[in-house]
Structure 1
């Protein structure tokens, strides 16, 4: 019953099967195997028909209560049978769970991105420590995407200065007053001198 509950909570609609769960005092290890259709070659987009091998990936997942969750995922490597395709083999990616080169689940990445959007770097890092998520401010800020470039230049530009570090490092924010959208954030090249103490 516990295995079924883990599948429903952590992997709803994802093509995997929970094969086992090992629980320690501060960590839960969930053994998972891929059960979805063979993947498509990332180069020629041809669907694979032959399995080359399998291997295990280790993914950080959202915590359950006070314990961290680690997913040990068995994924398949497929042959690409496209005659003109330069790629001979490729590893499958599981929709809703994995991304290439990433060591955390898609759901955990979504959590961290939301924290970064709402709190930024340092405050987000403090919240992550409280939630037992392993993420520093650099990682959180790296998840943010640059705003889309506007089709037209702003007609009325608002400029304000703020402190990155109180009393030390300042930045300038540019805002399109008509649309209330941030145009850019510029770090100031100078630092204000500390008041004599």
Structure 2
């Protein structure tokens, strides 16, 4: 398989160059190099000019049949030359492929998040095993994004408790009854925590 074909299949529209593909019975290892333009410091947004060093990141990608796919991506760490910036170096990210602090590709992370949203923790983990995806229950749940909490409480606020761990740890879920959506989740079920939330989020007429 030619490199151009691999790039077109695995990295459409993504700025990488495939160097080598190693195929085994269980894993397809794709070695690639970032070709993105120098990025900006994530703190001060200054354009990078000097390379600190290069190194490799291993990213899990979506499986190919029964084989895992690992992208061994060579990226650059840059200096931030703005003296007032507290960040001295930073690592480039490849849009559409890599994200900070993640060991999965952007596309695989999107897959896992969708599975977690639909199935939750343990059922999602079982499906991932069948799909040859490396993702446990805890990791899947961490991909779920908390809803944006409005500044004001909804007019009709529903309040109910639930168990993080039955018989041990309880929380409180707050719902906009008219819109039919979750507003916030409180870490316990005490009246003090709920009263503090109401103070910070005025506006409820019916509870």
Q: Same fold (TM over 0.5)?
A: yes
Q: Note if 1:3 corresponds to 2:3.
A: yes
Give 1:86 shift.
4.0
CA distance in 2, matches of 1:108, 1:70: 11
CA distance in 1, matches of 2:163, 2:43: 46
The corresponding residue for 1:118 is 118
The corresponding residue for 1:142 is 142
Give 1:114 shift.
0.7
The corresponding residue for 1:100 is 100
> Could you list the per-position Cα deviations for residues 69-95 of structure 1 after superposition, in whole angstroms to 9, with x for gaps in the alignment?
001011112233334334433221111
Give 1:136 shift.
1.0
CA distance in 2, matches of 1:159, 1:94: 43
Question: Gaps spanning 5+ residues in structure 2: where?
Answer: 190-207
Worse-superposed segment, 121-130 or 81-90: 81-90
- Greater strand fraction, Structure 1 or Structure 2: 1
CA, structure 1 residues 178+83, in 2 after alignment: closer, same or farther (shift >3 Å)?
closer
The corresponding residue for 1:12 is 12
CA, structure 1 residues 34+153, in 2 after alignment: closer, same or farther (shift >3 Å)?
same
Structure 1 SS opposite 2:149: coil
CA distance in 1, matches of 2:89, 2:46: 12
Give 1:151 shift.
4.5
- The total of aligned residue pairs comes to 189
CA, structure 1 residues 88+179, in 2 after alignment: closer, same or farther (shift >3 Å)?
closer
* TM-score normalised over the length of structure 1: 0.81
CA distance in 1, matches of 2:54, 2:44: 21
CA, structure 1 residues 151+40, in 2 after alignment: closer, same or farther (shift >3 Å)?
closer
Q: Note if 1:71 corresponds to 2:97.
A: no
> Could you list the per-position Cα deviations for residues 157-190 of structure 1 after superposition, in whole angstroms to 9, with x for gaps in the alignment?
4567888899xx998755432111124567998x
The corresponding residue for 2:59 is 59
Give 1:110 shift.
0.7
Give 1:5 shift.
2.7
Worse-superposed segment, 125-134 or 83-92: 83-92
